[in-house]
Structure 1
């Protein structure tokens, strides 16, 4: 027999609704014991067939339709008060495999913290009977061998998701505070006669916030020993978003300090720690190159490339379909897929959970919800160091094309400067790319076709590229608006003037460069076209290879062909002649052949010549 609360959780309605059903005799077999309704385990939810007023329906919907868990990472609250996508089979898969220490790397806001809190609630010893939070979940139906682990372990839980500070001193203070709170959760140790006096003295030092850096590095190891002594069972250690302070250290110039601290901190907790039952870590990056996990041969890494646990972070197609049906917006499935689907974790097609729940909760208005939850430092760093080849590939990605890239899962932030090609690995693990095709190499890396997952990520590429151009002074907002407006109004003369202004302002902020530099600069226009054009470069057409071609996606826009020339130390008269030569080359080599074959009649042709900071633009139809 079950209580009203347990049945309410099972049926996804309020306790009061179940209590009313019991009172009115709608549930067969109910009985009252000591003032509490008892409901048969196999009782089904009654169907209300009454004809009701619109007012009553509205009140019932408000009461029974659960809100979406935006920003909720507390498992107990998420599964009881909000619509919860059941990920508890993660527990079964873990218990089947039993790795000693597991690292899950996924993009931000893909459910890592909520899943780790779920593991904590499931495994942790508690005065409260926490089994009630799982009786209606998938893990409970898996059998007694899995239920036997529920509530049987002491747990150490830390989340570093908010450790974002500008200095090492402030970062260490925050970590000290987190450890202080976690030690406070285990105050029972202070009253134990199983712990010796020096252990209690150390415990109090952490609890009072008086521990120094060296003492803090040993805090996980020592707490695990004390918990094992007290409970006669080794604890589980869970570290959520372990690499957040490391990312901050990289961008705020205290990288060596945070790496040195974390190396000792994790080594004591996970390396040769006999007082450890299991360990879980989550993050975005696997930072093996920094030797944080040096010698930790019991670490099992589960990344976006791996098939294990591939459907437990983010929403699957089936889960999204059920969610859309629950909120009665199934007709939005196509739009939602275009905007927020497209991630590939292992072999599983995954939706961005943060964006999906925001989309539905805000009236199914498609926006870039995920990318607005924080700064996009990765793209900023990429644009700062991108080579001409990388810049061109980024613009190709923005146009929906696939590019070939080598993916190294051990890449770290500072490796961008060492080898700019590592940017694809960073973009993948951070959620900015997907891998439709991958092939494992002998050195453990992957050779992949990569592409942008969906319209949301395409929007952030576009925004970041435009922001980058504005920050370095290459283009003003006024010029950007002129280009967009001229395309929208089909004003060819205004478009010619705007492009000329763009080129003039771009070059005025740079020293002399080679033709490839200018080529990449012109490709910056792609960020302003708002999907009105398909941009291609260095492709064969007619009797040669054009530099840049812009094929309109709608017939009302003209086709655009650009040929670029560059020479050193030219005066303006010579530069005009070179621009005319570039323009003539478009006609001489019939670069417009592909456009004409497609039936395009309105074609703008630009001959653009550079010399240092000077530019000359010539155009005709």
Structure 2
């Protein structure tokens, strides 16, 4: 018999993983003696427990009696906690009831559990013919005492989610809003038979439920429904609005911004401002749209953003929650890989994992990919690249190299503020999930001075994908050149790689307007997007007897090292340009820029001397 530690060494996993497998009955013949597990010498290592399509792989192992599927795309609380693996976030209810803010706005990036949490609040608070307490008796909130349990099932609830309201025109958008209100009024048809409502209220209710109300009448629909519910139940309702700013983002990108802002201002004002028929209000979104006065005069609004410590652990997964999930599915040995790819967010002071990506990673057999990028548009990055100044381009390069940059973060930014001031990109990138703040300091004006960085490998991959897409769309790189670089790297074809980089340089210099300060960093952003999987890219670093311009250090020894030395002068003739490129190539050898690579055992090194003048370029190689 062997100990967990001995078997861990044999199976190349952690002792904790072996102990966990013993406890779960996954190791045949394992017995517990004096508090320690003993395992037969010939006991085979169980399969790694990777999950495919939410089901356990059972071959060659003693499986659990039942393993719950992972809730990919499930935002229905009742279904999620009954049928799927559910991460218990019900203490959000306790924290809320302790603080009792009248109206709460939670801003988080997309796919961080906002809709599921809001549906959980709906099920907890809402009056129902069914006994809905059964959905909470085994959850954390139920252990907190009668003062919290007494709120369960005691309020009428109005619930709207705008997460799927994505249309190209204002007419189509308002039609969809009309349909959502029709559906929500339809959940409260008991009001049509209420003897506590007047005839004109029932007539208005009928207009909404028959979808004949005009735009002006729709703006007061929340206020009037809250009044009718309060009259009927003798209890002011809870109003929940999920993903309120989806409409605003669509309006911004589809050119009906003014219409949606005007509608939402009146819509929310009636529901949340001085509404005596309101017990509590909840809203979720990505941005706090304060500058547009949507919440004008709403002095009872409490905003909880990614910068705040209140509620910081309730959206996304904490480290302990991720460890428990990995253990449940028998893949605790994947913790480091998962952390590298999907951890790194900081909400308040809590380290948070991207929940969508964690769930997809485990369900796909622990295959690390950029899952989050496919859940929505990355227009914010496209906007950033379109307005990027030389300074922003340089900072993007630094971020992609894993460095931190200092930026002022204003949480009151709106989508169109990017065009007004490109410096707002860091605020937008933070709240939308593309940056984190390892260090922050509150300023007197309410903004933050922060060090920002890219959270994890997944988001770095998103940046690179969007940068490459942008360069292809704008003509900075052709698809032919990109493919040639990819193919030459795959085939380890030095000559083809040399030709492809020459083509890339030619295109890049024409696009970036050779000689501009942002040229070098724009050039390297493209290289990162094209070659980062195979190379670590450095710029302006010391090696040998000088400082090279650009060095591409292979991540695997089978690739060649690459050194680029760039020179620039105004108004050079073709002959002078050729001479200048030869000088650049000669400088690489004379100043031994390749010494660092050679010390690392890299023997194949491609050297490029590149001269440009205006939009002309000449590339020379050894």
- Shorter-chain TM-score bucket reads 0.7 to 0.9
Superposition map of 1:594-609 within 5 A: 595=597, 602-609=604-611
Give the aligned partner of residue 130 of structure 2: 128
Give the aligned partner of residue 578 of structure 2: 576
- Specify every segment of 5 or more residues in structure 1 that has no aligned partner in the other structure, as ranges: 1-53
Give the aligned partner of residue 257 of structure 1: 259
- Note if contact 1:396-1:535 (Cα within 8 Å) is conserved in structure 2: no
Q: How far apart in 1 are the matches of 2:368 and 2:568? A: 43
Equivalent position to 2:189, from 174, 177, 187: 187
Give the aligned partner of residue 46 of structure 2: none
The answer to whether the aligner puts 1:347 opposite 2:349 as a matched pair is yes
Shift of 1:391: 1.9
What are the superposed Cα offsets for residues 533-592 of structure 1, whole Å, 9 maximum, x if unpaired? 222334455666543233333444444332333344433223223323433454566655
Q: How far apart in 2 are the matches of 1:214 and 1:445? A: 36
Shift of 1:607: 2.5
Superposition map of 1:105-504 within 5 A: 105-504=107-506
Q: How far apart in 2 are the matches of 1:395 and 1:608? A: 21
Could you tell me the TM-score, scaled by structure 2's length?
A: 0.86
- Note if contact 2:409-2:426 (Cα within 8 Å) is conserved in structure 1: yes
- Note if contact 2:467-2:525 (Cα within 8 Å) is conserved in structure 1: no
Shift of 1:248: 0.6
- Note if contact 1:249-1:258 (Cα within 8 Å) is conserved in structure 2: yes
Q: How far apart in 2 are the matches of 1:119 and 1:523? A: 44
- The 1:522/1:315 distance shift into structure 2, 3 A limit, reads closer
Shift of 1:126: 1.0
- Note if contact 1:358-1:369 (Cα within 8 Å) is conserved in structure 2: yes
* Range with greater deviation from structure 2 (99-108 or 435-444): 435-444
- The 1:189/1:159 distance shift into structure 2, 3 A limit, reads same
Q: How far apart in 2 are the matches of 1:428 and 1:350? A: 14
- Note if contact 2:361-2:369 (Cα within 8 Å) is conserved in structure 1: yes
Q: What is the aligned length? A: 567
- Note if contact 1:78-1:84 (Cα within 8 Å) is conserved in structure 2: yes
Q: How far apart in 2 are the matches of 1:59 and 1:603? A: 49
Aligned-partner SS, 1:150: coil
Give the aligned partner of residue 29 of structure 1: none
Aligned-partner SS, 1:210: coil
Could you tell me the TM-score, scaled by structure 1's length?
A: 0.86
- Note if contact 2:509-2:519 (Cα within 8 Å) is conserved in structure 1: no
Give the aligned partner of residue 22 of structure 1: none
- Note if contact 1:514-1:566 (Cα within 8 Å) is conserved in structure 2: no
Aligned-partner SS, 2:74: coil
Aligned-partner SS, 1:64: coil
Shift of 1:82: 1.1
Equivalent position to 2:568, from 561, 566, 569: 566
Q: How far apart in 2 are the matches of 1:469 and 1:199? A: 57
Give the aligned partner of residue 86 of structure 1: 88
Q: How far apart in 1 are the matches of 2:568 and 2:603? A: 29
- The 1:59/1:268 distance shift into structure 2, 3 A limit, reads farther
Q: How far apart in 2 are the matches of 1:79 and 1:614? A: 63
Q: How far apart in 1 are the matches of 2:296 and 2:569? A: 52
Give the aligned partner of residue 8 of structure 1: none
Superposition map of 1:3-82 within 5 A: 64-82=66-84
- Note if contact 2:345-2:351 (Cα within 8 Å) is conserved in structure 1: yes
Give the aligned partner of residue 36 of structure 1: none
Give the aligned partner of residue 531 of structure 1: 533
Q: How far apart in 2 are the matches of 1:151 and 1:290? A: 36
* Range with greater deviation from structure 2 (523-532 or 544-553): 544-553
- Note if contact 1:399-1:531 (Cα within 8 Å) is conserved in structure 2: no
What are the superposed Cα offsets for residues 290-323 of structure 1, whole Å, 9 maximum, x if unpaired? 1111111111111111111111111111111111
Shift of 1:338: 1.6
* Range with greater deviation from structure 2 (529-538 or 175-184): 529-538
What are the superposed Cα offsets for residues 266-292 of structure 1, whole Å, 9 maximum, x if unpaired? 111111111111100001111111111
Q: How far apart in 2 are the matches of 1:531 and 1:113? A: 35
* Range with greater deviation from structure 2 (315-324 or 488-497): 488-497
Q: How far apart in 1 are the matches of 2:358 and 2:143? A: 28
Q: How far apart in 1 are the matches of 2:154 and 2:60? A: 44
Q: How far apart in 1 are the matches of 2:71 and 2:601? A: 51
* Range with greater deviation from structure 2 (217-226 or 335-344): 335-344
